[in-house]
Amino acid sequence: MTTPVRLAQAQAFHDLHGQPGCFLVPNAWDIGSARILEAAGFPAVATTSAGIAFSLGRPDHGYLGAETKLDRDTMLDRVRSIAAGISVPLTADLEGGYGESPEDVAETIAMAIAAGAVGGNIEDFTGRDDRPLLEFDLAVDRIRAARAAIDTSGVPFVLVGRTDCLLVDDQGLPEAVRRGNAFREAGADCVFVPGATDPDTITTLVTEIDAPINIVVGLTGNRLSLAELRELGVRRVTIGGSLARTIYHHVWQAAREMAEHGTFRYADDQLPQSRLNQLFHNGRPA
């Protein structure tokens, strides 16, 4: 059962996508990272499936095979814990919906809503070398099934249709536009096209797709600021797994320093325990 508080969160998050301007939704991977992002004042938090996988000592799915991929229950357990640990809306990275069929996707959406998420993305990437993207009609049918599950729930859950056309060799911008518009017609509230890093590509997406556009930043080669993305007409910005990867970079650098030099200079730059205690006091940001 969805509580009045969760319904209010869902409506507030939904409304952000219909308002003018551009907003940033950073991606967290556990309760602690989510609470820090909440304390910084962001209007919502997203999950990063890559960051969650890394936190469990697992690789992000990519092309590594189904046996490496986190299962749906494990991912949604983390979504549930984060949603319960913050006061702002949480949108979930639901990857490919944990099954190819429209029925699988509909079930995943229903489970994400039950876990406390008020938004989520469904992508068309398969992780297979021989078939990197789902077929067009199947990809669209999956978005349509997700929309039907949302409408049945009565929760104004924000459905994001993600296409990875720009990240695979045999696809490109025209196909991203085609899929983006088809996802919108099938019921997506927002369209996400990872791999768009330059102003010309982003402008094409914004002008040719009739939907709010999500752009991911924090990746190599993308140095556009939030202000610049706002000027280009982007509605929503996420950071994917970049923050998690940055944290693990610092852990790796510290480990190498200790192992190779026996020094501890890494500790010169840390958040004081008193500040962390304050941030996490009573389970809520101060």
187: nearest Cα among 234, 140, 231: 140
For residue 162, give both structure tokens: 């993600």
Distances (CA, A) of 93 to 174, 210, 213, 274: 25, 22, 16, 32
Residues 6+ apart with CB under 8 A from 193: 162, 163, 165, 166, 176, 180, 205, 213, 214, 215
In a domain, 180, yes or no: yes
Distances (CA, A) of 263 to 139, 193, 248: 52, 43, 19
In a domain, 281, yes or no: no
In a domain, 273, yes or no: no
pTM for the structure as a whole: 0.94
CA atoms within 13 A on the CB side of 62: 9
In a domain, 265, yes or no: no
- Residue 2: per-residue pLDDT: 77
Instruction: Please count the structural domains in the chain.
Output: 1
> Residue 68's domain is classified under what CATH number?
3.20.20.60
For residue range 182-229, list pLDDT tens digits in order: 999 999 999 999 999 999 999 999 999 999 999 999 976 678 999 999
Residues of the domain holding 205? 4-243
In a domain, 62, yes or no: yes
For residue range 135-186, list pLDDT tens digits in order: 999 999 999 999 999 999 999 999 999 999 999 865 699 999 999 999 999 9
For residue range 18-71, list pLDDT tens digits in order: 999 999 999 999 999 999 999 999 999 999 999 999 999 999 876 555 566 899
How many beta carbons lie within 10 A of that of residue 188, not counting itself? 26
In a domain, 277, yes or no: no
